[in-house]
Structure 1
Amino acid sequence: MAKHGILRNGTRALALKGVPRLVSLVTGIERSAISKPILHGWLELEGPDPEVWDGPIFIHVPKAAGSSVLRTGVKYTLGHKPVRYYLRHKPADRAMPATFAIARDPMDRFVSAFYYLKGGGSTGQDRRWSQRNIAPDMTHNDFAEHLESHPRLLRQMHFRPQAYMLKDDAGKIAVDRILKFEMLDTDWPPFARVHGLVEDLPRVNVGSRGSRVRPETSDRTKEIIARLYAEDFTILGYAPPA
């Protein structure tokens, strides 16, 4: 753990009152019970735990098998931190370890994220967000139109474009390896073997709640998602929905 009020790169920052207490809270209770602004403020000041620099670092894109990967021995930080977070905090005396992420077809990810949140998600924050933004009778087609007219909702981590997680401060893709969700059955075992991770990827957070009855995706929804996630389709090599 870095010294109170000091970033790991040696830069002095404003002291964050209560950090020692917060550290014990983070390790002792469920993350969902901690105030999100406080947790993220602490993480931004303190940076990752030292063991993160042993790598490989997993950049956790929401709704792309991340919960499964977290159980394989990867290094990561609480919350969904973009690669630039690690680049900013890298100690001067350490080489940047290997980084990787798992990407998913943006259309499939949008649908999965919608029904996951409609079903309450997995935290209190997910549930409260869903109650505020997803009506009980909404389908993913309805929500796509709602998302188009309320782009602020793209700040919700499950709907945020994947490119956000993968770019450095200069706006360039800075993750060493991007695996495809759709190819994990064949691509994960050899990747895991090289990096000393568990090769048998567990199935965690597989969609169930709120996902049993799903209407066909409308042409209008396909148009909206192709536009809102245009960068993801381009940089990740997925064809826009037709």
Structure 2
Amino acid sequence: MKKSVYRDKVLVKNKVILIHVPKVAGTAIFKSLNIKRTVHFHLTDYEREDPAKFQEFFKIGFVRNPWDRLVSAFFYLKKGGMKNKYDRYMQNKLSPFNSFHDFVYALDRNNHFKNKIMNEIHFKPQYLYLINTNGELDMDYIGSYENLEEGFKILKARLNKPEAVLNKFNLSNHKPYWKYYDEKMIKIVGDMYQKDIELFNYEFPFNRLL
């Protein structure tokens, strides 16, 4: 029997759907709330399984600046991620690239490779996790990685966990993301994630390059 996507007792009891978009502090959020980390389900998985619950539950998720998220995902997977089978597969897939620069320029040169990469869990556009079966954003709250505490307060209130404190996990040791980009790379990634950028009002911090 297939396991339900409505599997966490704390979330179900409090009628909350928490969408875990990859590389948007999901591990920190789940661990800080003492909730078992879930698969990266899409919003549509919940809608299709139980439309009544889907309509009733409070739907919350978090997003991140796409230029930042891509850097984070690249270095995370280059190190093998969580060392599971899929992350090892992705580590092998990224092994030909000695730098983030080489990776982004390869995406630009090879559309087939780019399309395959953008269909992988950690590189998939974020809006795809947050839309319903009609292709519409259907969330009650979308928080941001850049202002995580604000969204975390809303989530812990919904889950009746006022004592929860947001801790940091999976900390990276790479440089600030904007230092990995030249002007062409900014455009390449901006074009790849244009819909995320428009929907969630992101921009590249050009002032950091001065």
Aligned partner (choices 39, 49, 64) of residue 7 of structure 2: 49
Cα distance 1:72–1:134, how it changes in 2: closer, same or farther (>3 A)?
same
Residue aligning to 2:136: 172
Cα offset, 1:220, TM superposition = 1.4
Residue aligning to 1:134: 95
Aligned partner (choices 148, 152, 157) of residue 188 of structure 1: 152
Bigger drift between 81-90 and 214-223 goes to: 214-223
Where relative contact order (Cα < 8 A, 6+ residues apart) is larger, the structure is 2
Q: SS in structure 2 opposite 1:238?
A: coil
Identity across aligned pairs (percent)? Answer: 24
Cα offset, 1:123, TM superposition = 2.5
Equivalent pair of 1:56/1:75 in contact (CA under 8 Å): no
Distance of 1:76 and 1:205 partners within structure 2: 16
Residue aligning to 1:10: none
Cα offset, 1:50, TM superposition = 7.4
Q: Does 1:90 align with 2:54?
A: no
Q: SS in structure 2 opposite 1:58?
A: strand
Map Cα deviations across residues 137-174 of structure 1 (whole Å, 9 max, x no partner).
52112111223321211111111100110001111001
Residue aligning to 1:11: none
Residue aligning to 1:145: 105
Cα distance 1:213–1:183, how it changes in 2: closer, same or farther (>3 A)?
closer
Cα distance 1:86–1:118, how it changes in 2: closer, same or farther (>3 A)?
same
Q: SS in structure 2 opposite 1:155?
A: coil
Equivalent pair of 2:24/2:64 in contact (CA under 8 Å): yes
Equivalent pair of 1:84/1:168 in contact (CA under 8 Å): yes
Residue aligning to 2:71: 111
Q: SS in structure 2 opposite 1:70?
A: helix
Unaligned runs of 5+ in 1: 5-41
Map Cα deviations across residues 42-83 of structure 1 (whole Å, 9 max, x no partner).
44xx54337353332210001110001112448777310011
Q: CA RMSD in A?
A: 2.7
Residue aligning to 1:154: 118
Q: SS in structure 2 opposite 1:64?
A: coil
Cα offset, 1:186, TM superposition = 4.3
Number of residue equivalences: 197
Equivalent pair of 2:19/2:61 in contact (CA under 8 Å): yes
